[in-house]
Amino acid sequence: MTTPRDLLIIAMDAGSGSPVEQGELSLALAGAEVIDLLAAEAVSLDGDHLVPGDHSAQADRLLEQAAAALVREEPYESVTDWLWRRGRGLSVAYQAELEADGQLVRQRRQGISFRAGQLVLADSPARRRAADRWAADEPVLTTLAGAVGVGGKQTEDAQDVADDDVATVLAAVSDALVELASVRQRRAIEDAAFDNIWRGGGG
């Protein structure tokens, strides 16, 4: 299994009380991909820029896609730019992958077709491995999950992560999540103002 897959499983399984927003989860998944690619030496960091390494095959199909998507010409892409570009719709892609692997199944509802059921986690070795990693308070998984509001285990700015490059990625994820929240808040205010103008115009 990979960190992105473990993160998605934990996000679906942790019972945080409210579902994780797809946008937040997608940004965190993109960060998790970078961390796994760093571990595989498929990428390195020069400051906050992603420098691709040898494009060797990755064991996971979506990680292979991530490695292939790295910008391979200077100036290389920053971690932040990667998160926004790669993260677009990424949670949906990972959910589809887990479903294709039989790790997500659709609940059958009486009188409703099987495909219409809600996606739930299957009892699988992958789910148990993710749960073990979560129970062990593994710093990377804990920080990424905490950043998207899962489980109440959020650490202080990834202070428990020893690797500087990994800490840089985690900090970029945190900053991107703050930016996303700010954008959403601004849009909500603008939408509310527009609604007030519309009603005031007697439309």
DSSP 8-state secondary structure symbol assigned to residue 116:
G
51 phi and psi angles, rounded to 5 deg: -105, 110
Q: Whole-angstrom Cα distance, residue 203 to residue 198?
A: 6
Q: Kind of pairing, strands 43-46 and 49-52?
A: antiparallel
Q: Tens digit of pLDDT for each residue in 72-85?
A: 999 999 999 999 99
Q: Show contacts of 52-59: CB within 8 Å, 24+ apart.
A: 52/76, 59/2
Residue that the structure tokens 């020069």 belong to? 46
Share of the chain above pLDDT 70, in %: 85
What confidence tier does 111 reach under pLDDT thresholds 50, 70, 90?
low
- Rounded to the nearest integer, the mean pLDDT of the chain is 86
Q: Tens digit of pLDDT for each residue in 23-57?
A: 999 999 999 999 999 999 999 999 999 999 987 78
Name the range with the highest mean pLDDT among 32-46, 119-133, 160-174.
32-46
